[in-house]
Structure 1
Amino acid sequence: MRRIPILVTLLLVAACSQESERTYTVDELIADEALLSRTISDCRNNPGELRNTVNCHNAEAADGKLRLQNMRKALGG
């Protein structure tokens, strides 16, 4: 009988725990420029905590790809 309250408590704690942040791919960030802008802004405003996260790396890669695409378009290529 002692196990039931312990299990219920563990389930409640697990349900209330902080949800992990979704990881976005480079292609998803390129497709949603508002999300890309927000992610880059968050990463640059808190580099100590976020600099080495997957989302920040993917956002920088997506930003680089978009810049290259825009330069090619501007040059007529």
Structure 2
Amino acid sequence: MRQLPIFVTLLLVASCSQEPERRYTVDELLADEALLSRAISDCRGNPGELRNTVNCQNAEAADGKRRLQNMRKALGG
């Protein structure tokens, strides 16, 4: 019976020690097209929860930067 509180405590500690999500920079997202597409898709698919996260903000910034680069290339610049 004495082991039950110890087990419950260990279970609670294990569930709280979740590894944080990796944060990607704008440059990392620009360098990896698949990662950027996945991040944009995830963020736009769940804007209520993810819109204000660092990864979504960086993904939107990278997407905007990529669009500008593509427009410059299309205009010959």
TM-score, structure 1 as length reference? 0.79
Alpha-carbon distance in 1 for matches of 2:28, 2:39: 12
* Gapped regions of structure 2 (runs ≥ 5): 1-5
In the TM superposition, residue 19 of structure 1 has moved relative to its aligned partner by: 1.7
What is residue 54 of structure 1 aligned with on the other side? 54
Identical columns (%): 88
Q: What is the alpha-carbon root mean square deviation over aligned residues?
A: 2.2
CA-to-aligned-CA distance 1:30-70 (integer Å, 9 cap, x gap) = 00010000001000111111010000000000000000001
Spell out the pairing of 1:1-77 with structure 2 (5 A cutoff).
13-14=13-14, 17-77=17-77
After superposing on structure 2, the runs of 4+ consecutive aligned residues of structure 1 that deviate more than 6 Å are none
* Gapped regions of structure 1 (runs ≥ 5): 1-5
Q: Which amino acid aligns with 1:27?
A: D
What is residue 3 of structure 1 aligned with on the other side? none
Alpha-carbon distance in 2 for matches of 1:69, 1:53: 24
